[in-house]
């Protein structure tokens, strides 16, 4: 059975991980063709590590990383760093992180 990972952040205003998990649960094949594994991390810069752990430790075929930066300049910088980490995790694992 395939595994899809969902990683989200703890302090988001909206529980994006739960939304992704609910949507995946409505798709054909849920429970038969694929299962969903979810992890919640403290902040955006932690998304890449959790995604990499799901790929390498739990054999996820793809990971959905959910995070939304604030409007402050520091939040935008953190989002950029998180994006860099996610890109590196994709290169290191050869698996897509959406």
Looking at domain 2-93, its CATH class is alpha beta
Separation CA 91–CA 89 (nearest Å): 5
Average pLDDT over residues 68-89: 95
Average pLDDT over residues 3-9: 98
Overall pTM surpassing 0.85 (yes/no):
yes
Residue 79's pLDDT band (boundaries 50, 70, 90)? very high
Which pLDDT tens digit goes with each residue over 13-51? Answer: 899 999 999 999 999 999 999 999 999 999 999 999 999
What is the predicted pLDDT for the residue at 97?
A: 98
DSSP states of 22-51? HHHHTSTTBTTTEEEEEEEESSGGGHHHHH
Average pLDDT over residues 80-91: 97
What is the predicted pLDDT for the residue at 11?
A: 85
Mean of per-residue pLDDT scores for the chain: 96
């Amino acid at each position: 059975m395939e595994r899809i990972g969902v990683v989200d952040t703890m302090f988001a205003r909206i529980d994006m991980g739960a939304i992704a998990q609910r949507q995946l649960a409505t798709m054909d094949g849920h429970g038969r063709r694929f299962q969903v594994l979810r992890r919640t991390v403290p902040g955006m810069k932690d998304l890449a590590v959790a995604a990499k752990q799901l790929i390498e430790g739990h054999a996820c075929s793809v990971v959905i990383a959910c995070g939304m930066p604030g409007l402050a300049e520091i939040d935008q910088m953190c989002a950029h760093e998180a994006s860099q980490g996610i890109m590196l995790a994709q290169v290191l694992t050869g698996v897509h992180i959406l």
